[in-house]
Amino acid sequence: MTDSIKEPLKDKIIEHIYNAIVNEEFKGGDQIKELHLANSLNVSRAPIREALSELVSLGILEQKTRKGVFVKEITSKDIFDTYESKGILEGFLALEFILRASKEDFKKLYEYVDEMSIETSDRKKIVKIGELFHKTTLKYSKNRTLLDFLEKINKKSQILFYKNWAKLYSKEEVKQRHLKIIKALESQSKTLIESTIREHYFETGTKIVLLREVK
């Protein structure tokens, strides 16, 4: 692990565990043993424990008292629930957008949608633009409680479901899906906005689950 000054060890350890999970060095059900990690990273158990408990609170790991910390098994239900939750939260939070959005905000949304579908965009870039799109729809939201929670969910799903994002939708589909959200926002109808955004994520959750079941 590279060490720079100032940043607490805990945070670097968290990063390390993230990567280990993404790279499937740690798999669902695996126990993460403090001393092993400590030795392999050349640190003591103290910052390891801090990192672990933070990841437990994020819902990525699971603590069993006096047994240890384990990588959570991800069920299809978990995935579905996660996307459903994103839909509920973003659907509501985006309502602030219609109260405050400027012409420029909408213009930006259309720009993002265009970028999603241009030939040269690779998957990774499209994901990135998607994030910007959704962040824009939330830019006027002020409910810290819900925003923080949404952030946690996003972090978690980024880590756990990253692999699935690969070929869920074609470029054209991505474009259409997001255009639909813009149309809903333009309609100014609260119920339409909420249901559209919910549907947006519901569809993705369902798709990922299906993909998994097949495999």
Partner DNA sequence: TTATAAAATATTGTCGACAATTTAACTTAA
Partner DNA sequence: TTAAGTTAAATTGTCGACAATATTTTATAA
Q: Judged by CB under 7 A, does residue 67 bind DNA?
A: yes
Q: Judged by CB under 8 A, does residue 65 bind its own copies?
A: yes
φ and ψ of 8, to 5 deg: -60, 145
Q: Judged by CB under 7 A, does residue 9 bind DNA?
A: yes
DSSP 104-149: HHHHHHHHHHHHHHSTT--HHHHHHHHHHHHHHHTTT---HHHHHH
Q: Judged by CB under 8 A, does residue 78 bind its own copies?
A: yes
Q: Which is nearer to DNA, 67 or 144 (CB)?
A: 67
Distance from C-alpha of 104 to C-alpha of 87, rounded to nearest angstrom = 25
Q: What amino acid is encoded at 182 in this protein? A: I
Give, as ranges, the residues between 182 and 201 that touch its own copies (CB under 8 A).
191
| Torsion from C-alpha of 51, 75, 197, 152, nearest 10 degrees | -10
Q: Which is nearer to DNA, 4 or 102 (CB)?
A: 4
To DNA, the closest distance from the beta carbon of 35 in angstroms equals: 5
Site residues (vs its own copies, CB under 8 A):
8, 46, 49-50, 53-54, 57, 59, 65-66, 77-78, 81-82, 84-85, 88-89, 92, 142-146, 148-149, 153, 191
